[in-house]
């Protein structure tokens, strides 16, 4: 995975190593091994971002022991922290984001058992007390305030019991139902199975304590909303040793530098050592008997990791990821890391995929062959969709839909390696910056690979439909650029951020022309690599490339990001046209009784009191439970004679 480092780059790398001046004769911690996870272009980007000493970034040293059969993990964590706030600090606050939104299936209803437990903590180098303030908040309070520029080491022992995702929950029908249930409740899909075991795959994300976000001089201890991404956007270095059963395949953020199996690691065990530099998150995926397919894109190794039974989809994911990586490098600039893993994951709550630096996951529901036999979960879905296909073969219809979704999601997650893996942004205050760009980038990949017609067709289904479906169900249009907490439902968040926001970039490209637009894109990436870009940064780059038309670009950004012109700009779709188009028809053959039944979903999903669109009948429907939604679909099945 490594290439020869030419002489000028040696100086760049040397500049990133820990400072060894008289003022600091002994390095705080040694982040140098983590440089193995960066390509030469990534190292150059760090230096360009002003990160001239890696050990000034926080360092996490993780020793993780996994017992899949018991669904447990134990963790010894060391945080190496430098006070870069510019003022003395009384405390350092860490967050366990895996505890923020998860509610375990057992325990009192009012006090759900969090998956990650705090066992003990202490400080090195300076005196402090460590206590757990709430399930997701751990505080190290210093006896004497930590001076600006001073350093501390915080040691934590944590343990976790991993929730088990029930068999059958990760198929297409089950996840469709979970999505509708979440919309009905006006809630996000929970933790999406990010810290869980399912389908023989162990997912470990948000499992360790990370430095909390800071708002001004204050540490953030709570989230006003569970909608959107939770976690830190800041860079850190990670060294991890993962102890787990022999025979398990492991995928992580960063690169593996050593693997020990057998007696040295324990009978039937293996120990995997991993390093990562300048990453905004760290995750581990593992499974027994997983297949691995690889392909090289330049000096980057791309790996697709999947269940053996899903070999066809795993091969397709590898092909898409490799082509997307190559396309985005050409369009946006070099990918910073040495490798890229794309892993099948037992995601739930309706999530299609989740991104981490150098590692992305794609939901198992897209890997599974569609089974439309009577009585199967997909068979129920097939019965519903079969009527929409005008008598066509359901297997053929679903056989086209699912691979299309798999391809789009994979390209979307690979795009996140630039937004916000390389080019950072505030994912809570301005979530559109990375999500809208990732959506737009996935459509760009389709256009570059297959042509404009295919890209438009798939973008209508994967992007625009988010907005149009939201509007059909009574949600109002509104500003794209607003905090995640300002969206009152996941439906509104998906419709605006994922469905409307991406089309800003099409409007800017048409106005600027390709030459100016792509110069601005490269300027944007070069300026904000390994930094946090403000929400105006791309339009600022475009204005800098073409000052004569800067007011036009800013007016477009104002229209798309801060005003409500979605219906005019994207068009409204009626239910028949949307569903008919989704399944390759014109909507005329959708049975009236089915159309009426599906329209019932609108007021039912708005039953939590969300505002209806202007001119719509006021919403007075009660909240709907998952059982009621299932009963509705069962009724549709009976009307179609497919029960």
SS (H, E, C) 267-282: CCEEEEEEEEEEECCC
What per-residue confidence (pLDDT) applies to 399? 65
H-helix or E-strand spanning residue 92? strand 89-95
Q: Is the per-residue pLDDT at 293 higher than 80?
A: yes
Q: Is the per-residue pLDDT at 492 higher than 70?
A: yes
Q: Which residues contact 121 (CB under 8 A, 6 or more apart)?
A: 130, 131, 138, 140, 154, 155, 156, 157
Read off the pLDDT of each residue in 300-320 and give the average, rounded to a whole number. Answer: 97
What per-residue confidence (pLDDT) applies to 400? 73
- What span, in angstroms and rounded, lies between the C-alpha atoms of 263 and 490? 49
- What span, in angstroms and rounded, lies between the C-alpha atoms of 424 and 426? 7
- What span, in angstroms and rounded, lies between the C-alpha atoms of 46 and 51? 5
Contact criterion met (CB below 8 Å) for 78 and 209: no
What per-residue confidence (pLDDT) applies to 123? 95
3-state secondary structure of 308: helix
Distances (CA, A) of 563 to 192, 479, 558, 568: 31, 5, 7, 12
Read off the pLDDT of each residue in 513-525 and give the average, rounded to a whole number. Answer: 98
Q: Is the per-residue pLDDT at 108 higher than 70?
A: no
Question: Is 59-424 in CATH node 2.60.40.1730?
Answer: yes
User: pLDDT tens-digit profile of 259-269?
Assistant: 999 877 788 99
Q: Is the per-residue pLDDT at 168 higher than 80?
A: yes
Q: Is the per-residue pLDDT at 173 higher than 80?
A: no
User: Across the chain, what does the average pLDDT equal?
Assistant: 84
Q: Is the per-residue pLDDT at 136 higher than 70?
A: yes
- What span, in angstroms and rounded, lies between the C-alpha atoms of 112 and 404? 38
Residue 179 confidence class, pLDDT cut points 50, 70, 90: confident
Domain assignments of the chain as residue spans, ordered by start: 7-56, 59-424, 591-640
Among the listed ranges 135-139, 153-157, 373-377, 474-478, which one has the minimum average pLDDT value? 373-377
Read off the pLDDT of each residue in 24-34 and give the average, rounded to a whole number. Answer: 76
What per-residue confidence (pLDDT) applies to 369? 79
Contact criterion met (CB below 8 Å) for 60 and 208: yes
SS (H, E, C) 336-352: CECEEEEEEECCCCCCC
User: pLDDT tens-digit profile of 415-454?
Assistant: 999 999 999 999 999 999 999 999 999 999 999 999 999 9
What per-residue confidence (pLDDT) applies to 578? 61
What per-residue confidence (pLDDT) applies to 392? 44
Among the listed ranges 83-92, 141-150, 377-386, 573-582, which one has the minimum average pLDDT value? 377-386
Q: Is 229 exposed, middle or buried (0-12, 13-18, 19+ CB in 10 A)?
A: middle
Q: Which residue has the higher pLDDT, 581 or 54?
A: 54
Read off the pLDDT of each residue in 181-210 and give the average, rounded to a whole number. Answer: 84
What per-residue confidence (pLDDT) applies to 11? 44
User: pLDDT tens-digit profile of 232-269?
Assistant: 899 999 999 999 999 999 999 999 999 999 877 788 99
Q: Is the per-residue pLDDT at 39 higher than 60?
A: yes
List the beta bridge partners of residue 195. 204
What per-residue confidence (pLDDT) applies to 611? 32
Q: Is the per-residue pLDDT at 21 higher than 50?
A: no
What per-residue confidence (pLDDT) applies to 387? 45
What per-residue confidence (pLDDT) applies to 613? 31
- What span, in angstroms and rounded, lies between the C-alpha atoms of 288 and 164? 16
What per-residue confidence (pLDDT) applies to 10? 40
Read off the pLDDT of each residue in 456-460 and give the average, rounded to a whole number. Answer: 94
At what angle are helices 537-545 and 550-562 packed, to 10 degrees?
160
What per-residue confidence (pLDDT) applies to 469? 87
Read off the pLDDT of each residue in 523-538 and give the average, rounded to a whole number. Answer: 98
The first and second tokens of residue 147, run together, are 């001076």
- What span, in angstroms and rounded, lies between the C-alpha atoms of 192 and 536? 31
Contact criterion met (CB below 8 Å) for 300 and 2: no
Distances (CA, A) of 189 to 351, 403, 427, 622: 8, 23, 18, 20
End-to-end CA distance of the chain: 54
3-state secondary structure of 178: helix
State what percent of residues in the chain have pLDDT above 90: 67
Q: Is the per-residue pLDDT at 593 higher than 60?
A: no
What per-residue confidence (pLDDT) applies to 105? 35
**pTM strictly above 0.85:** yes
Read off the pLDDT of each residue in 175-184 and give the average, rounded to a whole number. Answer: 70
Residue 507 confidence class, pLDDT cut points 50, 70, 90: very high
What per-residue confidence (pLDDT) applies to 373? 55
């Amino acid at each position: 995975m490594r290439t020869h480092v030419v002489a000028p780059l040696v100086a760049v790398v040397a500049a990133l190593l820990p400072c060894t001046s008289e003022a600091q004769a002994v390095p705080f911690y040694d982040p140098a091994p983590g440089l193995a996870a960066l390509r030469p272009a990534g190292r150059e980007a760090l230096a360009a971002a002003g990160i001239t000493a890696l050990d000034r970034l926080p360092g996490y040293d993780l020793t993780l022991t996994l017992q899949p059969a018991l669904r447990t993990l134990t963790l010894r964590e060391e945080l190496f922290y430098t006070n870069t706030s510019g003022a003395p600090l009384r405390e350092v606050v860490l967050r366990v984001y895996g505890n923020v939104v998860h509610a375990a299936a057992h325990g009192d209803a009012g006090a759900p058992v969090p998956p990650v437990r705090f066992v003990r903590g202490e400080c090195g180098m300076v005196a402090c007390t460590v206590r757990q303030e709430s399930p997701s908040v751990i505080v190290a309070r210093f006896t004497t305030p930590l001076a600006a520029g001073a350093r501390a080491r915080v040691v934590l022992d944590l343990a976790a019991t991993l929730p088990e995702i029930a068999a059958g929950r990760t198929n297409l029908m089950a996840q469709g139902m979970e999505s509708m249930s979440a919309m009905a409740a006006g809630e996000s899909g929970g933790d999406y199975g990010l810290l869980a075991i399912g389908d023989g795959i162990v997912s470990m994300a948000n499992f360790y304590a990370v430095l909390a976000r800071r708002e001004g001089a204050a540490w953030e201890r709570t989230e006003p909303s569970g909608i959107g991404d939770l976690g830190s956007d800041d860079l850190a270095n990670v060294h991890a040793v993962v102890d787990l059963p022999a025979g398990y395949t492991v995928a992580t953020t960063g690169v593996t530098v050593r693997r020990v199996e057998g007696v040295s690691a324990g009978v039937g065990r293996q120990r995997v050592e991993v390093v990562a530099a300048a990453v905004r998150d760290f995750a581990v995926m593992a499974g027994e008997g997983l297949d691995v397919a690889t392909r090289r894109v330049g000096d980057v190794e791309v790996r697709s990791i999947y269940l053996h039974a899903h070999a066809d989809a795993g091969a397709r994911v590898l092909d898409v990821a490799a082509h997307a990586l190559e396309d985005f490098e050409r369009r946006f600039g070099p990918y910073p890391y040495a490798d890229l893993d794309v892993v099948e994951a037992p995601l739930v709550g309706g999530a299609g995929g989740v991104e981490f630096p150098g590692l992305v996951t794609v939901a198992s529901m897209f890997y599974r062959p569609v089974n439309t036999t009577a009585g199967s979960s997909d068979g129920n879905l097939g019965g519903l969709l079969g009527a929409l296909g005008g008598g066509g073969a359901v297997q053929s219809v679903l056989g086209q839909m699912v691979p299309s979704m798999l391809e789009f999601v994979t390209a979307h997650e690979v795009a996140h390696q630039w937004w916000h893996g390389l080019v950072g942004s505030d994912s809570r205050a301005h979530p559109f910056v990375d999500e809208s760009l990732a959506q737009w980038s996935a459509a760009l990949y389709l256009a570059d690979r297959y042509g404009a017609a295919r890209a438009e067709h798939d973008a209508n289904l994967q992007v625009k439909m988010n907005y149009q479906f939201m509007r059909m169900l009574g949600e109002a249009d509104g500003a794209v650029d607003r905090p995640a907490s300002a969206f009152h439902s996941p439906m509104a968040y998906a419709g605006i951020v994922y469905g409307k926001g991406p089309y800003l970039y099409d409007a800017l490209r048409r106005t600027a022309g390709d030459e100016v637009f792509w110069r601005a894109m490269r300027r944007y990436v070069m300026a904000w690599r390994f930094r946090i870009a403000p929400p105006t940064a791309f339009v600022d780059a475009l204005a800098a490339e073409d000052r004569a038309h800067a007011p036009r670009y800013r007016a477009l950004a104002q229209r798309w990001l801060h005003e409500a012109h979605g219906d005019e700009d994207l068009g409204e779709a009626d239910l028949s046209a949307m569903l008919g188009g989704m399944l390759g028809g014109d909507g005329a053959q959708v049975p009236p009784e089915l159309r009426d039944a599906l329209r019932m979903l609108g007021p039912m999903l708005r039953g939590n009191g969300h505002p209806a669109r202007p001119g719509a009948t006021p919403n007075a429907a009660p909240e709907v439970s998952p059982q009621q939604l299932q009963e509705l679909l069962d009724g549709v099945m009976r009307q179609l004679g497919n029960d």
